[in-house]
Structures are given as structure tokens and as C-alpha cells.
Structure 1
Amino acid sequence: MTKDLTEIWQGDSVPEGNRVSNVERFSGFEDTYDRHRLEAPEEVVTLLTGYLSRRPSLVVDLGCGTGLSSFVWKDAVDRIIGVEPNDDMRGKALAKLQSLTKQGADGHAQSGAITFVSGYSNQLALPDGAADIITCSQSFHWMEPASTLKEAARVLREEGVFAAYDCDWPPSLTWRIEHAYHELIRLADDIIDRRVNPEDQAYKGDKNEHLKHIRESGLFRFSKEIVFHHVEPFTADRYTGLAVSQGAIQTVFKLNQPELHEKIASFQAMVKEYFQERTLPLMLSYRMRIGIK
């Protein structure tokens, strides 16, 4: 574990079970993603540390993106490894880490050792039994579940914790605004279906089957689903920004298709009218599926 992980994790080949289209879906909008997506809430650290029953030595964050789900651990663990195959997303995480390291020259801003590496969830450059906790934040549905869980079980220590957790989109507000949000995503998916060959599209698994995959793997002695809520302040810009940061909408932008523009403008106007320049506390619902090795 003393070797430079950025060296031992290198490799151009894509392991079997992974789709290049799933990785490339996130190329080119790392700034938008990082600006509008949510950081993992502290409840994640509290819950998973509780199930581990001690301070974790190593947390591995699979599909870590721009690090929004990795940095939450920085004061609660000895070491964090964020694994992300997309170069743009990982590059943003590394830039944030560099900034944090500079700010932490006095030793106060960063207490955990954080590393971001290129890699895939079903082929990790870690020895058996290395990790206490492995997380997939808003990412497990992009992975091949059987091989990912097999690799996670290999890397976890005995009684280590695997956790796949997701936030329900959008944050609770009004039924009309939430309906309009879902209509935007539906229209974006329709445009993609018309413009992109099926074999070139990203494939997203069903989040509702995460617990089923964990249980059917036979690799975990205990499993359950935990539902919890988290409140964050939202402005109209943050709410609409979250919608625009969704992968389907960003894919349509990359296809240079103007069909969404009018719908997005209408959605923005609806949200702005509701918020009336206020900052409002909104509830976000999370679903965490865990397995104890």
C-alpha cells in the first residue's frame, strides 16, 4: 500500500462487463456536475461507521466522479481512495484535492489521505481484505452488479461494509414542478433513443434492484435497505441547475439538439416563480443498500 497508486492503477483496457458508453456519458460536463450535484451527506459517514463499529482505516469510493462522495470522509477515516474511470470527472476531483492540499498546509483543512485513481469497479488494484468500507454513491446502477460485488467482497475485510446509496430526484417541492422535472428527463431520453444507436447508448440499471443483487450474490452475511432524509438549502438556480446536470440532458446538449431548450426555459420560469428569490430548505430522500461481508 506504500506504492504510488496512480502508477499501479494505470491501464488502457476496459475490463469485461463495463460499457465505454457508460463512462463517456459523463465526459465534458464535470464543472456543471460538480457545481450542481449534491455532496454526500454526513449521515452516510455516521451510518456506515456505525455498522463497521469502529473508525475505518480505508474507504474505497467506486464511481466517485468529481469527489462529491469522497471528501465527506476526510475527517472520519485514515485513508480514502476514489476510483473513477472517466478522465474529466476524475480530473475535477484531482483539481479539488490539489486546492484542498494547498489550503491544508497548516494541517487543519485535510486530515485524511485522499487519492483519486483511474479504475473500474470490478477490477481494483487492491489486495484482498484491504478496505473497511466500499461505497457507490449514485453510481452502482452504471456498473455490472455481479462482478462489482464479487470484487468488493474480495477487497473488503471480514465484517467490512459495502454500501450503494442514491438520492431520489428531484428534491421534494411541489407536484407540478417535480412532474415538469421528470418530463424534461423523459423528453431527453426520447431524443437520445431517436438520435443514438442502442448499442452506443449508456445503460443504466434499476436502482430498485440494488438490494436484490447484494442478496443474490451470496457474498454478504447481512443486508438491508436504509431510508433516510437530509435537508439542504436551495435557490431557484440550484434547483434548475440540478435538473440541467442530469446525464440525459447533458447528452442531448452534446448531440447539439435544440429540442429541449424551450422546455428547459419553461421549467426555469416555473421554478423561479415558485422560489421568488427565496432560499428554501428542501428535503432529499436517500436509499442506502448495504451488505456486511
Structure 2
Amino acid sequence: MIEEIRNNNVARFAGFGTLYDQNRPSAPPEIVDILTTYLRSVPHTVVDVGCGTGLSSFIWLNHANRIIGFEPSDDMRQVALSKWEVIGKPSILQFENRLSHDLGLPAHSVDILTCSQSFHWMEPHSTLCEFARVLRPGGIFAAYDCDWPPAFDWTIEERYQQLISSADALASQLAPREQQPHKWNKDRHLQNIQDSGLFRFAKEIVFHHWESLNAERYVNLALSQGGLQTALKLGAVELHSEIAQFRDDVSLTFAGESRNILFSYRMRIGIV
């Protein structure tokens, strides 16, 4: 059963790697600042699990001696590799196909291990056991996510939520039961870390980051949500009119300008 869920979760991210990469926010520099402050040194090895297109991996260039991004989705990982090639294939950064419960790394070999927008797709017990195994004493696990939608205008945020809710409902209706993905509750991340008994310290850290977006990118943020993409792949043609209305509403609100949008982040950390 768990193996089937893992396969379905990986399959959910097929087919929209470029859309995802061009529109999702890059991991903010606060990530590096917070985690290196807790580590009290420059990390030798940073591992980014469920790294997607590498948005959360590339931020560690110039801040770590070795960076490994693990991503089981071929589509997402290929986008990361293409960007890696463009910047000259830095030897300190690599991307590999691995799942969270089997990283294939030596014990106590990792200083910082992160999951950006991804820990809720991983079975927590087996994943946390593996993370604790590869982290060195004093090493840090950090799962961080931004809230959706980002803060901008309450009427647009309400329409964003309605669109995603419609898409999620259609995806659930149209996908055969045996192909349904499964998300673990983000609100239980900290509790799962604490309950594992594998970490001597755990806490939640909340922070914010401003990023400039135009109307097209704001719309594409919604289109980059996995539930919406899944519904479209399954043939939910009724979504097209809702997407078109959302696009019109967003364009009207942005009025042809770029706006500063507030992304709120929640980071749950565990220190071994």
C-alpha cells in the first residue's frame, strides 16, 4: 500500500516541471541564514529531498561544500539538471533519483537536510528514520512550506482558493482509487518530528518573504498546483472557464503592474 502511494505521489508531478520552475517562488535566503545559524558553521553537506526543479537546492551554492538534490520525478529532476548545465555543471551540486526513505548515503554524513514544499508527500515514519540515520550529531532537518495563496488581495485569494478546491475535488472524482495520491497533514509536521523520538530538539519557525509578481505569474502560481494539473490531465474541461475567469480577475486587479506579494513560510526543524 505504501509503495503504491509513493508511486502515485511521484506521478502527480509529471508534465509541468517548466511551469512549476518558472513561477514558483525560489527558496528565500532566510532559509540559509536560519539553518546555518543553528548549525553554527558552514555545512559540508546539504541534502535537499523532494527538491523538484532545484529551486530549493541552488540557494545553497556558495554556502555549502557539497549539495545533493534528491527528486524521484523524472520531469522535475530534468528541469533541475538543465539549469545545472546552464550554470556550468558545478561539481559541488548533483541531482539524483531517490525516495525519502532510502537515500543511499552513509550514516552521520549530512549536516543539513531540507524538504521544501515536499515533506507532506512522504510517509513520515520511514522518512524520519532515514533522515535521522544520515544526519550527523547536531545535524538539522528542516521541512518548510509557504502558505497558499500568497497574501495580496482578499478577493483574489478567495478566488484562488475556490479554483484549487474545485480542481482538487475533480481530481479526486476522476482518478481511479488505485491512482489516488496521498498527502500527510502539514499541520502535523512538528508533532511527527517530536513523536519520532529521533530528534533532541524541535520547533516551528515562521517567517515571511516579499517577491515581485505580475498578473501572469500570479495566475501561473495557481496553475502550478498539483491538484489542478492532475484534474486537467484527467480531462476536467469544466475547469477551463473557471481558470479563464480567474485570469481575468487577476489581470484586472494587477492593472498591468507588478506587485510585491507576501509569501508566508512555516519551517519545522529537528536537531539530532
Counterpart selection for 1:51 from 23, 31, 38:
38
Gaps of 5+ in 1: 1-13, 103-109
Secondary structure at 1:19 match in 2: helix
Counterpart selection for 1:164 from 143, 168, 175:
143
Secondary structure at 1:186 match in 2: helix
- 8 Å CA contact 1:17, 1:144 repeated in 2: no
Q: Identify the residue that residue 198 of structure 2 maps to in structure 1.
A: 219
Counterpart check, 1:71 vs 2:71: no
In structure 2, what is the Cα distance between the partners aligned to 1:101 and 1:250? 32
Q: Identify the residue that residue 21 of structure 1 maps to in structure 2.
A: 8
Q: CA deviation at 1:284?
A: 0.6
- 8 Å CA contact 2:12, 2:181 repeated in 1: yes
Q: Identify the residue that residue 168 of structure 2 maps to in structure 1.
A: 189
Q: Identify the residue that residue 283 of structure 1 maps to in structure 2.
A: 262
In structure 2, what is the Cα distance between the partners aligned to 1:185 and 1:134? 30
Counterpart check, 1:231 vs 2:210: yes
2:70 maps to a residue whose letter is V
Q: CA deviation at 1:254?
A: 0.9
Secondary structure at 1:258 match in 2: coil
Secondary structure at 2:266 match in 1: strand
In structure 2, what is the Cα distance between the partners aligned to 1:15 and 1:189? 21
Q: CA deviation at 1:257?
A: 2.0
- 8 Å CA contact 1:83, 1:116 repeated in 2: yes
* Alignment CA distance shift 1:213-1:46 (3 Å): same
Task: Indicate the percent of aligned positions where both proteins have the same amino acid.
Answer: 52
1:87 maps to a residue whose letter is D
Counterpart selection for 1:116 from 95, 111, 118:
95
In structure 1, what is the Cα distance between the partners aligned to 2:5 and 2:103? 13
Q: Identify the residue that residue 82 of structure 2 maps to in structure 1.
A: 95
1:133 maps to a residue whose letter is I
* Alignment CA distance shift 1:61-1:18 (3 Å): farther
Q: Identify the residue that residue 262 of structure 1 maps to in structure 2.
A: 241
Q: Identify the residue that residue 27 of structure 2 maps to in structure 1.
A: 40
Secondary structure at 2:94 match in 1: strand
Where in structure 2 are the equivalents of 1:127-142 lying within 5 Å?
127-142=106-121
Secondary structure at 2:265 match in 1: strand
Gaps of 5+ in 2: none
Q: CA deviation at 1:256?
A: 2.2
Q: CA deviation at 1:18?
A: 5.3
Counterpart check, 1:60 vs 2:47: yes
Give the 4+ runs in structure 1 shifted more than 3 A. Answer: 14-18
Q: RMSD between aligned alpha carbons?
A: 1.4
In structure 2, what is the Cα distance between the partners aligned to 1:32 and 1:18? 24
Secondary structure at 1:220 match in 2: coil
- 8 Å CA contact 2:202, 2:269 repeated in 1: yes
Q: CA deviation at 1:17?
A: 8.1
What is the CA deviation profile of residues 144-201 of structure 1, one whole-angstrom value per residue up to 9, with x for unaligned ones? 0111110000000000000000000111012111111011111111111221123311
- 8 Å CA contact 2:5, 2:182 repeated in 1: no
In structure 1, what is the Cα distance between the partners aligned to 2:106 and 2:4? 21
